[in-house]
Structure 1
Amino acid sequence: MDFTEIYRQSAGHVAFSPGAHFILTAVADRLVVRRADTFHVSRSWQVPCSPTPSAAAIASTTSSRSVRPGPNADSLTQTAISHIAWSPDSEYVFAACAKLGHVYVFRMRDEDWTAHIEAGAEGLIRAEWAPDGRHVLCFSEWGLRLTIWSLVTRIATYIQYPLHPDRGHAFRQDGRYFVLAERHKSKDTISVYDATNSFSLARHFPLPTSSMSSLALSPSGNHIAVWEGPLEFRLLILSLAGDVLGTFKPDLDPGFGIRNVVWHPSGMFLAVSGWDNKIHILEQLTWSSVATLELGTRIPANVTIWREPSNWLEATEGRGFLSYEKLEGPHPLNANRVDNSKAYPKCGTTQLEFNKAGTLLMARFENVPTAVHLFAFPGPGEAFSPRLRSVLLHSSAVAHAQWNPLRQGRLAISCGGQAIYLWSEEWIGEGGAEEEMAECVGIPAKKFDALDVRWAPDGKGLLLIDRETFCCAFEVGPEP
């Protein structure tokens, strides 16, 4: 792998453009766009850091949300930008300053063109792009409303009482419909809006839930998975018309709710997990469980085990790469003790993700923080028998793991140290057949902690994020 120089960033705000040609970063109060091939600065904008009149008025009476000049001015400037994002067509970028109530939109082709969105007294907690790249969604504080701003017509559309700002909403893949969880008169509801018709209301129906946690829209856009809060393990499958198609509850109540729900890329299956270290696989016909994957105390003998070599960074001086150690099973799995008497016990899945082809399911369990589990998932025409295929064991807790967005058998892992870890099933063995391979790759820097790792949209490079800096790593050699 080839590594770039190290560049500054603030609060982890670094993002590849959708075409992977540019990299957007926030550095204090400035947005910087670099070319991904040369890393030369292509565009740069300074974001004003003055609060809106509404935010200033609220700050004068609310000490918990103070936005005042004086001793805190420098620290406020350093943390002013709370969100950055590319539009899906890479034409625009925005920088949101949630504490100050601003969203600034800039255009790549015209450095002088800007748009300014100012939140009112309801405040601003989150901003994101609509799939068309011409609407910005702004969620207010306290769940008061969602405001959808059009860059074309300069008209705002208001939706009252969204349930959550960071979850509970989704666009269909074609961008036609926007599904939003709302709460009206103490009742959970779902609304479906036509994004191509000024976000007009197409459907609105109540939910049979007491405290909805979130929702997940199927890849086909025909089904909505909705689940309860942390106190009840209950999942509902609904159509876009509001019909309840299925309900799932385990035979034995685990005592806590659902942590992760992820659709299979085909939409034929649904993986559901909670705090009990079990992953339930539901199928589309009856929405019942057809398989249960469970974390055990030992790794079985028919599973490939990869272990990070001890002290390999010191031996290689942080340069080059080294293969994992391949172990023979069965092998004990050292799990942390769990105190179920506490709220949100440290167990269950913290991450659940299918690869692009749906042939592998990656899972990370909180009480085994150093391990990454890979489950083989049958493809079309194969006997349905999901099983544990590989386990990757590390010296430190895994900070982040992500599948390659294009190559189906490529996984990147970071553990917060001066290295990244790569797993692949595309390695060509001596017999010419594809085999799996796991490698530790040192980052050639004097001091760098890879707290986060993100693939480029084209799958050819990686963003490595430290606390205040970042660098990129690009694979060299012929593609498989």
Structure 2
Amino acid sequence: MEFTDVLGQSLAQWSPNAKYVAAADKNRVLVREPDSLKLVQAYICIDKVERIEWSPDSQFLLTQVARQGLLQIWSLRDSEWTCRIYEGLAGIAHARWGPAADLVLVAVDFQLYLSIWPLQEGASAVQIRFPKFSRRGFAFSRDRCWLAVLRRKDCKDRLGIYNSQESFSRLTDAALAGDASDLAWAPDDNTILVWERPASTPWCRMYSLAGECLAQVGDALPRSVAPSPSTQLLASLGLDGQLQLVSAVSRHILTSLAHNLAEATVQCEDGEVFLWEEYVELTDGVPVGKHRYKKIQDPGSFLEEKPVPEALDAEGIPRQGITVAAWSPDERFLATKHESFPSCRKWQALAVLMCQVWCGFGILGGWCYIPC
């Protein structure tokens, strides 16, 4: 393998078209070509850059300067073009691009409002009051005609739907039962999927554009829900270690999967479940050489489920069951992490994440271990 020179930069991010890579160095943002690391553009911000994000078309770069409470947007084509977004005393909690490079969504501190800034000369921002979350809880439909937002007003959750083609005029403001966690658009762009935080009520509901509850989907008690890239499938991550795959089109449960290594080894044939152990060569107790991996011959007897200490995450939900899920872009694989498997051996100081890969509709593809 060949390596380039080390560059003292951070927050590196690839452009969506993979032609550029941007990284921050204090108050500078440098854009380079990935093959030769040739410098393409250099932008000077007014203070230290805390976050960067490419526009969907890879032509603009959003930089968040947290200390000053403002955003600076730069153009890759025109180095003289600049844009600044300042929310005043409200501050900026999080900023992100819209579905295209002509919109920037800014959530201010304490979820007071969500600003939608068109990047057009003379255009003014539109404010949506009381969004429930600053980093999630709002999504555009695939045709970009509608914006759905979870709102929290008078200690109650509400679903707001706005017409993006008419200056984000409000179409629907419907009350929601329960404590909503996030939302996603169904493939037809006429239905919104809203799921709750762990509660005793059904975990997912489907709403029409008019705010009418069409159906309740699933029967599990999930920790969270992970929609597939096309939103045709929903993965329910259970507190009990069960994973349900639900069709958002037919509104039926397709299969229920158990995150259990012993069951996986029984269900699969020899050679279909793999377990790798990481080790480092030691000399006089000092690590030397690179990390290496060896295959465990009997994975079923190697790992035992260990209860984790009672702990809560940032949202106050117990750290138990399946906490993380990630879909592959083609929706053929689903990787999950179980909190009851914190490491491989008690004496290991290095925590190991357990990743179970599901293939297709419930066919187990394999097991792997990824070091933190």
Q: Which amino acid aligns with 1:354?
A: W
Q: Which amino acid aligns with 1:22?
A: Y
Number of corresponding residues: 349
Name the SS for the 2:189 alignment partner: coil
- Quote the residue 1:95 is aligned against: 63
TM-score, normalization by structure 2:
0.83
| In structure 1, distance between residues paired with 2:329 and 2:311 | 38
* 1:389-434: CA deviation from partner (whole Å, max 9, x where unpaired): 21113xxxx4xxxxxxxxxxxxxxxx34xxxxxxxxxxxxxxxxxx
1:335 equivalent to 2:305? Answer yes
- Quote the residue 2:368 is aligned against: 392
| Aligned match for 2:251, one of 287, 309, 313 | 287
1:152 equivalent to 2:120? Answer yes
* 1:6-54: CA deviation from partner (whole Å, max 9, x where unpaired): 32234xx2211111111111111111111112112211112113xxxxx
- The 8 Å contact of residues 304 and 326 in structure 1, kept in 2 or not, is answered as no
Structure 1, 105-114 or 345-354: larger mean CA deviation: 345-354
Q: Which amino acid aligns with 1:311?
A: V
| Aligned match for 1:374, one of 357, 361, 369 | 357
**TM-fit CA distance, 1:105:** 0.9
Structure 2 residues not aligned, in runs of 5+: 343-351
**TM-fit CA distance, 1:338:** 3.0
- Quote the residue 1:318 is aligned against: 290
* 1:69-117: CA deviation from partner (whole Å, max 9, x where unpaired): xxxxxxxxxxx42321111112211111234211111111121211111
| In structure 1, distance between residues paired with 2:188 and 2:69 | 36
- The 8 Å contact of residues 50 and 64 in structure 2, kept in 1 or not, is answered as yes
- Quote the residue 2:216 is aligned against: 247
* 1:310-356: CA deviation from partner (whole Å, max 9, x where unpaired): 3379999339xx77526455344333313458764332223212212
| In structure 1, distance between residues paired with 2:91 and 2:248 | 41
| In structure 1, distance between residues paired with 2:60 and 2:161 | 26
- Quote the residue 2:320 is aligned against: 347
Aligned pairs (5 A) from 1:463-478: none
Q: Which amino acid aligns with 2:253?
A: S
| In structure 1, distance between residues paired with 2:114 and 2:217 | 31
- Quote the residue 2:346 is aligned against: none
**TM-fit CA distance, 1:237:** 2.2
- Quote the residue 1:461 is aligned against: none
- The 8 Å contact of residues 260 and 352 in structure 1, kept in 2 or not, is answered as no
- Quote the residue 2:333 is aligned against: 360
**TM-fit CA distance, 1:130:** 1.0
1:5 equivalent to 2:5? Answer yes
Name the SS for the 2:110 alignment partner: helix
- Quote the residue 1:19 is aligned against: 17
- The 8 Å contact of residues 83 and 126 in structure 1, kept in 2 or not, is answered as no
- Quote the residue 2:345 is aligned against: none
Q: 1:42 to 1:345 in 2, by over 3 A?
A: same
- Quote the residue 1:65 is aligned against: none
TM-score, normalization by structure 1:
0.66
Aligned pairs (5 A) from 1:68-467: 80-153=48-121, 154-209=123-178, 211-232=179-200, 234-248=203-217, 250=219, 258-284=222-248, 287-296=251-260, 298=262, 299-301=264-266, 302=268, 303-311=272-280, 317-318=289-290, 325=295, 327-328=297-298, 330-339=300-309, 344-369=317-342, 370=352, 371-378=354-361, 386-393=362-369, 398=370, 415-416=371-372
| In structure 2, distance between residues paired with 1:248 and 1:358 | 20
- The 8 Å contact of residues 18 and 89 in structure 1, kept in 2 or not, is answered as yes
Q: Which amino acid aligns with 2:114?
A: L
Aligned pairs (5 A) from 1:48-63: 48-49=46-47
- The 8 Å contact of residues 70 and 91 in structure 2, kept in 1 or not, is answered as no
Q: Which amino acid aligns with 1:43?
A: Q
Name the SS for the 1:241 alignment partner: coil
**TM-fit CA distance, 1:218:** 3.2
Structure 1 residues not aligned, in runs of 5+: 50-79, 379-385, 399-414, 417-480
| In structure 2, distance between residues paired with 1:106 and 1:229 | 38
* 1:185-219: CA deviation from partner (whole Å, max 9, x where unpaired): 3321112222233323233322222x222223334
* Percent of pairs with identical residues: 26
